[in-house]
Amino acid sequence: MHIDLNPKLDFRDVLIRPKRSVLSSRFEANITRSFRFRYASCGWTGFPLIASNMDTIGTLQMAKAFQPFNALVALHKFYQPEALIAALRETPEPNFFITVGTAPGDWERLAAVKKEIAVPMLNIDVANGYTENFVKSVSRLRDDNPDAIIMAGTVVTAEMAEALILAGADIVRVGIGSGSVCTTRDLTGVGYPQLSAVIECADAAHGLKGHVCSDGGCTVPGDLAKAFGGGADFVMLGGMLAGHAECGGEIQYQQQGGERVAKTMLFYGMSSETAMNKYHGGVADYRAAEGKTVEVPYRGEVKRTLDTIAGGLRSAMTYIGAENLKEVPKRTTFILVNAQRNTVFD
Ligand code: 5GP
């Protein structure tokens, strides 16, 4: 047994110290970044925000709404090949990853798409990225798709981020147990504070010309600034994008003054009972659900939320004097705090 006595931090444990800056307005803060990848033959330029491949978040409608922001969506893996082929044909520069797991059905689905059209961005997604089988799957995916941008995860430690990059991942997804509808930590006791996971994995990945995506745990726009400040190249969001018109979930309506008004939407983890009932005919006997189901207020179109997120990030960059996203980690000094904010009106 071993105890790591080094402090491990979450977003809520820190704030970012402001610094003198030459930026006079947040308009000058550029949230677009250009990447070249370790393996993929093409680069990518845009706002490195990725909607999670949860079935109520990673939708084709979300991808459309993200286009004007040059942001990305990891599509959930329940789209049929026909829908994916049509979407790829419709979009000359697709802003979405096609997601696969490690099940044979997922690979057959991908093969069916690839028969018709090239797939430029792939996301290989499992809850636990620590298995030998997963590393082998990443290698196989890279062998089959030498030119694609491949994102793989999730893991939370430097040695496993390295292993996935060496196996063929361009981007490693970092985060276990940090998600808003995740119950892994309660059920298993396993996890890693998200900010430290990002800092440690980014350091390891960057040494190998790999990239990392901080996945899960962002609750407010400031958390994205902290993730980028910790070295994340991309940030993936689930809960912060829930409850919008572009989500796949069912809207619950209420009668209000003779009118039918959209009130709430269901949001649930991909390992929740809700998701397992929907896609796998229930929770298998040998496992327990590792996600929960919540009702979130309906929030209309996602554009406003994206504007707020982008605005928050630009403002953070102005506070620390970072003209572009790449400079953010260099300009970031985290300070340990025991309170994030004034809670008098909560
Ligand atoms: P959020 O942005 O909501 O905090 O986190 C989103 C992330 O939570 C997803 O991208 C995914 O990695 C993770 N996640 C989604 N569903 C589940 C689940 O049912 N169980 C667990 N353990 N994690 C989940």
Pocket mutation for ligand 1, best pick of 54, 76, 155 (most atoms within 8 Å of C-beta): 54
Distance (angstroms) between ligand 1 centre and the Cα of 184 equals: 9
Q: What is the pTM of this model?
A: 0.97
Residue 346 lies in a domain: no
224 is in an annotated binding site: yes
Residue 344 lies in a domain: no
Q: 134 and 258: one domain?
A: no
* pLDDT (0 to 100) of residue 293: 95
Residue 158 lies in a domain: yes
Residue 150's H or E segment, with its range, is strand 149-155
Q: How many domains does the chain have?
A: 2
Q: 200 and 269: one domain?
A: no
Residues 6+ apart with CB under 8 A from 267: 56, 181, 238, 239, 242, 243, 247, 249, 293, 294, 295, 296
Biggest CA–CA distance in the chain, Å, is 64
* pLDDT (0 to 100) of residue 110: 98
Distance, in Å, from the CA atom of 249 to the CA atom of 13, rounded to the nearest integer, reads: 32
* pLDDT (0 to 100) of residue 180: 97
Residue 32 lies in a domain: yes
Annotation marks residue 182 as catalytic: yes
Beta carbon of 56 within 6 Å of any ligand 1 atom: no
Residue 342 lies in a domain: no
179 is in an annotated binding site: yes
Helical packing angle, 302-320 and 221-229, nearest 10°: 50
Q: 140 and 210: one domain?
A: yes
Range 260-265, long-range pairs (CB < 8 A, 24+ positions): 262/298, 263/297, 263/298, 264/295, 264/296, 264/297, 264/298, 265/56, 265/295, 265/296, 265/298
Residue 288 lies in a domain: yes
Distance, in Å, from the CA atom of 107 to the CA atom of 95, rounded to the nearest integer, reads: 21
Residue 1 lies in a domain: no
Q: 67 and 216: one domain?
A: yes
Beta carbon of 239 within 6 Å of any ligand 1 atom: yes
Beta strand 259-268 with 293-297: parallel, antiparallel or unpaired?
Answer: antiparallel
Q: 101 and 78: one domain?
A: yes
* pLDDT (0 to 100) of residue 25: 81
Q: 88 and 122: one domain?
A: yes
* CATH number of the domain that residue 230 is part of: 3.20.20.70
Distance, in Å, from the CA atom of 39 to the CA atom of 43, rounded to the nearest integer, reads: 10
Q: Between the CA of residue 340 and those of 7, 10, 132, 313, 344, what are the distances in Å? A: 18, 12, 40, 17, 12
Low-confidence ranges of the chain (pLDDT < 70): none
Distance, in Å, from the CA atom of 19 to the CA atom of 334, rounded to the nearest integer, reads: 12
Pocket mutation for ligand 1, best pick of 10, 50, 52 (most atoms within 8 Å of C-beta): 52
* pLDDT (0 to 100) of residue 284: 83
pLDDT in tens, 150-194: 999 999 999 999 999 999 999 999 999 999 999 999 999 999 999
Q: 23 and 167: one domain?
A: yes
Task: State the chain's mean pLDDT as an integer.
Answer: 96
Domain interval for residue 285: 251-295
222 is in an annotated binding site: yes
Q: 137 and 281: one domain?
A: no
> Torsions phi, psi of 310, nearest 5?
-65, -40
Contact 225, 328 (CB under 8 A): yes
Q: 113 and 261: one domain?
A: no
Residue 286 lies in a domain: yes
Q: 113 and 75: one domain?
A: yes
Q: 168 and 229: one domain?
A: yes
Exactly one of 42, 182, 201, 247 is catalytic; which is it? 182
Q: 132 and 86: one domain?
A: yes
CA atoms within 13 A on the CB side of 320: 25
ipTM for the complex shown: 0.99
Distance, in Å, from the CA atom of 57 to the CA atom of 322, rounded to the nearest integer, reads: 30
* pLDDT (0 to 100) of residue 26: 82
